[in-house]
Each structure stands twice: as C-alpha cells, then as structure tokens.
Amino acid sequence: MKLFVGLGNPGSKYAANRHNIGFMAMDRIADAHGFAPWRSKFQGDISEGRIGQEKLVLLKPATFMNLSGQSVGEAMRFYKLALGDLVVFHDELDLAPGKMRLKQGGGHAGHNGLRSIHAHAGPDYARVRLGIGHPGHKDRVSAYVLSDFAKSDHDWLEALLQGIADGAGALATGDGAGFSNKVAQHTTPQRKGPSPKPAADTARKPKPKPDPATAKPAPPQQETPADARSPLQRLMDRFK
C-alpha cells in the first residue's frame, strides 16, 4: 500500500492558491480512478481506492501547511507504513510552471510543509515537485504562493494534473520513469517536423518523336556549283 499526500491549506479561501497544487493533484487522482468519497481522518481528509492491484490512500492534511507532518505521521503510524511507502506532492518555486520533477529524499529547501514532515517522519520519502514558477524576489514569495492561479495558467495546470492522474498507477508501483513519461505526454509540446518534400522525378523522359503525318519536310539544301576555273586562272583572278 502507498500513501500519497498532497500539501495545501484547508478551506475555500485557499482552494485555488498556487500553494494548494498538491491538494489539486489528490482530487484529480481520486476523480480519475473512482476512489471512495473523501472523509475526515488523521487530522485531514482521506480517500481510498485501487489502481490496478495497488491499494492507495490519498491524504490532504487539514492542519495548515506548517503542521502537515502531524497528519502525515498519524496516518503512517496507523497503516504501519515505512518512508518508502510515502509520496508527497507539493508546489515548487524553483521549477517553471507546468514542469514536474520526481525526487527521492533530500532536504526541505525551506518549504514549510516538507519541513514539518521531516520533523514528524524523516526525510527519506519520495516527492513530486510541481512547478509554479518564482515571483522574482524572495520578499514576494509569500503573497505569490497564497494567491490564486491566473486564468493564463489554466492550460498548463490542466495538462499537468491530467498527466499526474494518468501516471498515478505507475508511481504507485514504484515506476518513477513510467510516471514521468505519462506526465510528459501531457505537458511537453509536440514538435512539428518539416513538411516532406515531394520526391524528385529523376527519370529522364524520352523526347517525343515527330509524327510523320504532321512533320514539315526540311527545305532542300542548295548545292554550291563546282568552280570550273583552273588553279592558274583562280590565282590571276585574285590580282585583278
């Protein structure tokens, strides 16, 4: 069994925030694969289901981002899961909007949700880093992540979430490459190659033969009359 955790903040006020892209990913997986309705448990909301032979529990902590580890730790203890069974989906400032990177273990890079999970469970779990872009200056980060996605973000966000839903089964079995490929199929623009040129006609076409019935006869060549003078006479004529 795997525990997928999406990070975000509870309540309608935050539902469309960039910081809540982890919640959005959980909702899309649950909807796409017919999981059970969400219910309150482990200081959060959970939905259970299967993708193929793999059982999954989806968790959206309701403790607010800074205390996400409380909810995650409680769920892991209840199901007796190891860190290798945990996958956390979170927003990532250091990735361009729509990009996704799968990472195993490592630091929290200042992300408060990850920091809390580190404190309650440890660092050696898988993360699905979901790019939202950076506002350009650290002083603008808080307002940026707690603001809603813009209308111009709709297309890439929809493609990313659909790719996550399609690849969730591969991720549940530990096939990280398969998961990444599924996401890329939705988020990577298809390159159009140059239009094929028509094949050159290299065969030499034979020249058409003239039709004897319509061909005009060639004009008769006039013969130059023979010079009847003797060589001596021709020489004398030159000096006249």
pLDDT 10s digits, 52-94: 899 999 999 999 999 999 999 999 999 999 999 999 999 999 9
Stretch (H or E) spanning 129? strand 126-131
227 is a domain residue:
no
Say which CATH number the domain at 161 has.
3.40.50.1470
228 is a domain residue:
no
CA dihedral 138, 143, 149, 152 (to 10 degrees): -60
Total of domains in the chain: 1
81 is a domain residue:
yes
Q: Roughly what angle, to the nearest 10 degrees, separates helices 154-172 and 176-187? A: 160
> Active-site positions?
19
Residue-level pLDDT at 189: 77
Report, as an integer, the average pLDDT of 21-37: 98
* Nearest Cα to Cα of residue 152 among 128, 129, 133: 133
Q: Of the given ranges (34-43, 88-97, 226-235), which has the lowest mean pLDDT? A: 226-235
52 is a domain residue:
yes
Length of the chain: 240
Residue-level pLDDT at 46: 98
Count helices and strands in the chain by DSSP H and E runs: 7, 7
Asked if residue 238 has pLDDT above 70, the reply is no
162 is a domain residue:
yes
The whole-angstrom separation of Cα 161 and Cα 107 is 25
Triad 173, 124, 164: Cα angle to 5°: 40
Q: In Å, how far from its chain's centre is CA 201?
A: 41
217 is a domain residue:
no
Range of 97's domain?
Answer: 2-187
| pLDDT tier, 188 (very low <50, low <70, confident <90, very high otherwise) | confident
For the stretch 199-220, pLDDT in tens is 555 556 566 665 555 556 555 5
201 is a domain residue:
no
For the stretch 163-184, pLDDT in tens is 999 999 999 999 999 999 999 9
Q: In b/e form, how buried is each residue of 50-80, taking b as 16+ CB within 10 angstroms?
A: ebeebebbbbbbbbbbebbbbbbbbbbeeee
The whole-angstrom separation of Cα 18 and Cα 218 is 90
153 is a domain residue:
yes
pTM: 0.79
CA dihedral 35, 39, 45, 47 (to 10 degrees): -10
